[in-house]
Amino acid sequence: MTDRPGGSAPRDRDAADRRDRVRILAAVIASISIVGVTFGLTSPLLSVLLERQGYSYTMISLNTAMGAAGSIAIAPLLPALARRFGTARLVLTSITMILVSLALLPVFPNIWAWFALRFVYGMGGGALFVLSEAWINQIVSDAQRGRVLGLYITILSLGIAVGPILLNVVGTVGPTPFVLGVAVVAAGAIPVVLARRSAPPVTTRPSSFVFRYIRVAPSGTLAGLVLGMIESTALYLLPLYALRRGLEGDDAVLPVAAFVAGAVAIPLYFGWLADRIDRHTELAAAAAAAGLSVATYLFVSAGSVWFWIATFIWGGTATAVYAVGLTLLGQRFKGANLVAASALLVAMYSLGSLTGPIVTGAAMDAWGVGAFPIFAAVVALAYAALVVVRRAGRSA
């Protein structure tokens, strides 16, 4: 048998390429998840501080909304900015915006200054999510796309969940929580610095304006709206629903923990499944499961075993909707078009975060506490129906 020198070279190159992709993916996922810890820390921190200063719930809500407004505002600019400055540089700029605005919050403890700072904070956060998710989608193979994005969502959810725990440890008094937040954000920049030379270039213009991608890929982009509405509604109003349905005192916040636990555990399974079955079918199934699980609230009491199971499934399947929607966008788009579609996905998430609690709260005031699960179920089931209707076509 004759040896062929260099015959193993292609295999060696393939192995090296795989190792490089794993290293880059680990860096990007680690970066956004580390920064995610700060997102989980700052939202409750700032709400507590504003309430302590005597501001009304309306003013606190408006101030909180500035983050989502900043994310929506930056979205249409990101494809051009990515083409002009490059993905890695723009990611680092986004992290810097988050870091600087967070560092200035305790320097200017005035709600009007915080309106501006939280807007900048939201711009940085929105850009970070868009560019990081597009970066991941660009370099992962389609055969592994679902698993990688499911893992990303799981790790990100875990990072965000750690934020309130850290806040409980360090407290809300003095500069310590802000110093911790700044340190965490700075740490999140390190993996990007190490992987910056491997960022995929954006060399072309998107084929359409960012917000027009809702017509091109409604199933994929509207996944952000669904999760934004459901997640924000759960975080802000689920404790109130639980109180009205029989839970008492501090126990009313425990359903939020069950929701977050589902968001951490379940998307990984849906990501694995997305690489094995039709992704549109899976997306519709995830949305339907989210709708049916929260509809269970109408038939069980808060605190029952079925209530906890339903809440866990609701949080996990709603989050899986976003993961599978992001997978579909990566499957369909590349380059500037992927950045544009990802920007719309994140903008839709931010829009949902703004509108979900407002609409649900108004419905609860008008029709009672039962409007909470009805609204959440209608959002998820209507989206599932949309995906089924679009399934026969070719849109993501």
pLDDT tens-digit map of 203-262: 888 888 888 899 989 999 999 999 999 999 998 889 889 988 888 877 888 898 899 999
Please tell me the predicted confidence (pLDDT) of residue 202: 86
Domain membership of residue 7 (yes or no) is no
- Using an 8 Å Cβ cutoff, are 375 and 360 in contact? yes
**Where does a domain end: 186, 203, 220?**
203
Residues 295 and 313 in one domain: yes
The highest-confidence range among 9-13, 312-316, 360-364, by mean pLDDT, is 312-316
Please tell me the predicted confidence (pLDDT) of residue 17: 66
Q: Which residue has the tokens 């609409």?
A: 359
Give CA 385 to chain center in angstroms.
23
Residues 173 and 227 in one domain: no
DSSP state letter for 108: S
Domain membership of residue 5 (yes or no) is no
Instruction: Give me the domain span that covers residue 329.
Output: 204-396
Residues 198 and 127 in one domain: yes
Q: Which of 346, 237, 362, 221 is nearest to 294 (CA)?
A: 237
How many C-beta atoms surround the C-beta of residue 84 within 10 A?
A: 10
Residues 191 and 326 in one domain: no
Q: Which of 340, 353, 79, 80 is nearest to 211 (CA)?
A: 340
Domain membership of residue 15 (yes or no) is no
Please tell me the predicted confidence (pLDDT) of residue 10: 60
**Where does a domain end: 184, 203, 222?**
203
Residues 242 and 162 in one domain: no
State the first-to-last Cα distance of the chain, in angstroms, to the nearest integer. 51
The highest-confidence range among 7-16, 134-143, 190-199, 384-393, by mean pLDDT, is 134-143
Residues 165 and 105 in one domain: yes
- In this prediction, residue 6 has a pLDDT band, given cuts at 50, 70 and 90, of low
Kindly report the CATH number assigned to the domain that includes residue 161: 1.20.1250.20
**Where does a domain end: 203, 233, 260?**
203
| pTM exceeds 0.95 for this model | no
Number of folded domains that form the chain: 2
Q: Which of 218, 237, 227, 300 is nearest to 266 (CA)?
A: 227
| In the chain, % of residues over pLDDT 90 | 66
Domain membership of residue 290 (yes or no) is yes
Over 80: is that where the pLDDT of 178 sits?
Answer: yes
Residues 351 and 281 in one domain: yes
